[in-house]
Amino acid sequence: MTAPLPAEFVARVRTELGTEADALFAALEGESPVSVRWNPYKTILPPSGEEVPWNRYGRYLPERPYFTADPMFHAGTYYVQEASSMFVEHLLRSAMEPEGARILDMCAAPGGKSTLYATLAGAEGLVVANEVVRSRAATLADNIRKWGIGNVLVSNNDPSHFAGLPEWFDVVAVDAPCSGEGMFRKSEEARREWSEAAVEMCAARQRRILADAWKALRPGGIMIYSTCTFNRTEDEDNIAWLARNFDCEDAGVEVPEEWNIAISEAEGIRCFRFWPHRTKGEGFFAASIRKCGQKGRTVRPKARRTIFTDLTRKETAEAARWTGQPELMRFARIGDTVYGYYYINYADIRCIGEYLNVIYSGVCMGQLFNGSLKPDHSLAMFHDMYPYAATTSALPIESAIRYLAKEELTADMFAEGMNIVTFQGHALGWAKRIGRRVNNLYPKQLAIINK
């Protein structure tokens, strides 16, 4: 890395860490560990590797593979996520049972934590993954589709818009935009862009996001605040500010000593900091806070428009034959596209979907033409797509890579009509054979460029 660590940062850390500071600086010039989190909805086989202690789905890899050339990555069987940030699983599980929870991830792109929350919430839960920056929200939606659980709604709203959903969520996560000191090892840009003024600016913005997010959390619910920076201004000071201004208490999370996580306290709330020279992961800060008080009356937000329409019985039957457990699902149309939702959270999704600016929700099934469904890529990515709804074409590695690069494929590998393309039993997308021609239906925007 050519950019040096910012001088003010070095001076501050020396004061805070004393003799330990040099170990941190050395770690920040070293290699980042590589870790992935596997998707239990798509595979029962975790990748081999050392376990990440604070996350049951996390594994360290001995070296960085070229993920782009691994079809299993594109099938959504794992997410490449740095290990420290997987700690939010421990924070949540220690404070409550996440299964079936309504979770708002306020700063969600590109989706590392949202895919984790979706895994923890399960089919009976609902994750609202929100991202204020439109282009980043599109990437978030791609990652949510690929993860394929079907329990996520992706919105593109400013945090202030959640004022219309007061006390709605059991969990609200604020993984705040920050000055990124924890990224100094990975990113030269983070080193160059850092300044003391940026720290102050980020801290003020974080407090605004926290205040908006707080309103959306129900009493008794859990707020998870995290940053990837080390300074107290954006970390402990903001937690202290939250504790002074809102009725809350520590969520009671304990961590074993051998994890080497530094623990501090801000107005009675325990805070957890990952230093890269002590733990195997990037710099990370997190705290978990319980909201006190009595729950008020649940307010249904006023719909800004009607976007969901019902399907006919025949159309429902056609949609249903593409899913493994249609009895758990409810189908609806938005515009000319059919979506599938778990029955249990359809009413919530409908309510939120007609209030927020939603760019994706549930499972995009496809479009109906003369009563037949033309399946969407998202349906192929859905973990519970009915595997016999179309012919399966299992490709060997070279052809799978060609498919993912959206290149031409020989007709002999496909049956006439629509094929679900798989690699080692995992769906990658659709291809349609018409005579000797094969239409590679892999989405253009996802096609891999450097094989």
The encoded tokens of residue 379 equal 């349906």
Confirm or reject binding of residue 139 to ligand SAM (CB under 6 A). no
List, in sequence order, the alpha helices (H) in 363-423: 377-381, 397-404
Candidates 41-49, 131-139, 182-190, 311-319; binding stretch for ligand SAM (CB under 6 A): 131-139
Report the residue number, 133 or 347, with the smaller CB distance to ligand SAM.
Answer: 133
Binding test (CB under 6 A) with ligand SAM, winner from 110, 166, 324, 443: 110
CA distance 71 to 316: 32
Confirm or reject binding of residue 159 to ligand SAM (CB under 6 A). yes
Confirm or reject binding of residue 290 to ligand SAM (CB under 6 A). no
Of 186, 179, 167, residue with least CA distance to 203: 179
Confirm or reject binding of residue 111 to ligand SAM (CB under 6 A). yes
Interface positions, 76-105, toward ligand SAM (CB under 6 A): 85
Q: Could you tell me the CA-to-CA distances from 251 to 90, 248, 267, 293, 445 in Å, in that order?
A: 12, 9, 13, 14, 42
Confirm or reject binding of residue 107 to ligand SAM (CB under 6 A). yes
The encoded tokens of residue 166 equal 């007061």
Helix (H) or strand (E) holding 8: helix 7-17
Binding test (CB under 6 A) with ligand SAM, winner from 27, 104, 108, 428: 108
Q: Could you tell me the CA-to-CA distances from 417 to 232, 365, 368, 391 in Å, in that order?
A: 60, 18, 16, 8
Cite the active site residues.
228
Confirm or reject binding of residue 113 to ligand SAM (CB under 6 A). yes
Count of positions on this chain that bind ligand SAM (CB under 6 A): 17
State the Cα angle at 172 between 380 and 351, rounded to 5°.
Answer: 60
Phi, psi of 173 (to 5 degrees): -105, 130
Report the residue number, 47 or 177, with the smaller CB distance to ligand SAM.
Answer: 177
Binding test (CB under 6 A) with ligand SAM, winner from 132, 216, 381, 409: 132
CA distance 407 to 399: 9
Confirm or reject binding of residue 235 to ligand SAM (CB under 6 A). no
Candidates 56-64, 130-138, 386-394, 427-435; binding stretch for ligand SAM (CB under 6 A): 130-138
Report the residue number, 21 or 198, with the smaller CB distance to ligand SAM.
Answer: 198
Strand 437-440's sheet: what is its strand order?
391-394, 417-423, 426-434, 437-440
Interface positions, 195-224, toward ligand SAM (CB under 6 A): 205, 209
Cβ 411 to ligand SAM shortest distance, Å:
40
- Which positions touch ligand SAM (CB under 6 A)? 85, 107-113, 131-133, 136, 159, 175, 177, 205, 209
